[in-house]
Structure 1
Amino acid sequence: MQIDDTDRRILRNLLADPAMAVAALAERAGITTATCWRRIEKLREAGVIRGTQAVIDWRRLGWEIEVSLRFTLDKTHPRAFDEFIAAARLVPEVLEIQTFLGQTDVRLNVIARDMEHWKEIYRDRILTLPHIQDTEALMLVSSIKDTTELPL
C-alpha cells in the first residue's frame, strides 16, 4: 500500500496517542473527520494499522527481572521448532517468542518478579522445554531506547 503525507500525519499522531478521538486526529492531520475516518479504515484494511492496545508497564506491577534467552535447538528432530514453540507459549512469563536464521534458532523474552521467581521459572519451565541443544541468557540491566515510534 502506498501512503502519502496525510497518512503519515495520521499514523504519527496515532503513535503518539492511540486513544485520540478521530475528530482531534483529523484536526491535527489537517483533514475532515469523515476523511480521517475513511483513511484510518483503509489503513486497517491494508493491515498497516493492526489494532489498538493498552501498553502496560509490567515493572510498575512488581515484575523486576527481564531475561532474553537465546536457544539453539536439536534440529535432528523434524518437529523441534514446532514442539519447542508450542511448549514455550504455555509459559505465562514468556512475553515474546522470535525465530531466527543463524546460530540462534529461537529467542524468548521472559519476565520474573524477582531472582527467586526467575530461578523457579528457569529450572521448572524453561529448562524443561523440548529439544534444547544450547542456551544463552542475557539479563537486562537497562533499556536505553524502547519505542514503537516509526520514522514517518
Structure 2
Amino acid sequence: MPDMSDRRILRHLLADPDASNAVLARRAGVTTASLWRRLERMREAGVIPAIQNRVDWRALGWEVEVSLRFTLDKTDPRAFDEFIAAAREVPEVTEIQTFLGSVDLRLSVIARDMAHWQQIYRARILTLPHVSDSDALMLVSTIKDSAELAL
C-alpha cells in the first residue's frame, strides 16, 4: 500500500507525466534516488502499470469512434468466449469490456470516415456471434479523459 510519500509522488506524476525524475523528486520532496526506488516498487506492485504509448488515431485520419453495447444470447454457454474471440479478430476494435447488468459487453471501434464505418459495421460487427441486442453510440467529443483521483 502506498504511503504518504508515494501518494505525493503519484499526485505529481499524474499532474505532469512528462516531468523528469529530478523535477518530480523535487516537487514531491524526496531525493532522486528515493523517487526511483519508490517508482520501481510501485511498478512491481502493479500500482503504476507498464508505460504505454497511446496513438492519437484522429491525428492519423481515423475520424469516427463508436461505442457499441451488446447483450448476448446466453443460452449457449460458449457465447461470451466465442463473441470475444470474434471481436478480437476485428482490427478496428480498440477496446473490449465486459459488464454486469443489462449490457454484457462494450466494444470501442474506430473508422476513417462514415463510409468506412458502414463497411466495418456490415462486414464485421453484424456478423459477431450470439448477439441478441446491440446499441451504438457515436463519440462526438471527449470532455474529460483522466485517471486522476484524489490521493
TM-score range, shorter chain: over 0.9
Q: Distance in 1 between matches of 2:148 and 2:110?
A: 23
What secondary structure sits across from 2:147 in the alignment? Answer: coil
Q: Give the alignment's TM-score, normalised by structure 2.
A: 0.93
| Equivalent residue, structure 2, for 1:151 | 150
What RMSD over aligned residues (CA atoms) do the two structures have, in Å? Answer: 1.4
Alpha-carbon distance between aligned partners in 2 of 1:48 and 1:118, rounded to the nearest angstrom: 36
Q: Which residue of structure 2 aligns with residue 24 of structure 1?
A: 23
| C-alpha distance in structure 2 between counterparts of 1:141 and 1:34, whole Å | 44
User: Are residues 1:110 and 2:109 paired?
Assistant: yes
- Greater mean deviation of Cα atoms: 51-60 or 112-121: 51-60
Question: What pairs with 1:1-152 in structure 2 (closer than 5 Å)?
Answer: 1=1, 3-152=2-151
The 2-side partners of 1:110 and 1:131 are apart by 19
Instruction: Quote the sequence identity (%).
Output: 72
Task: From the superposition, tell whether residues 58 and 125 of structure 1 become closer, same or farther in structure 2 (CA, over 3 Å).
Answer: same
Tell me the number of residue pairs that the alignment of Structure 1 and Structure 2 aligns: 151
Matching residue's letter, 1:122: Y
User: Which amino acid in 2 is paired with 1:29?
Assistant: A
Letter in 2 for 1:121: I
Higher mean alpha-carbon deviation, 5-14 vs 76-85, is at: 5-14
| Cα distance in 2 between the residues matched to 1:83 and 1:109 | 18
Q: Residue 86 of structure 2 aligns to which amino acid in structure 1?
A: A
Unmatched 5+ stretches in structure 2:
none
Letter in 1 for 2:63: E
Q: Compute the displacement of 1:111 (Å).
A: 0.9
- Do the aligned partners of 1:18 and 1:52 also contact (CA within 8 Å) in 2? no
Aligned to 1:8, the other structure's residue is in SS state: helix
What's the secondary structure of 2:103's corresponding residue? coil
Shift of 1:40: 0.7
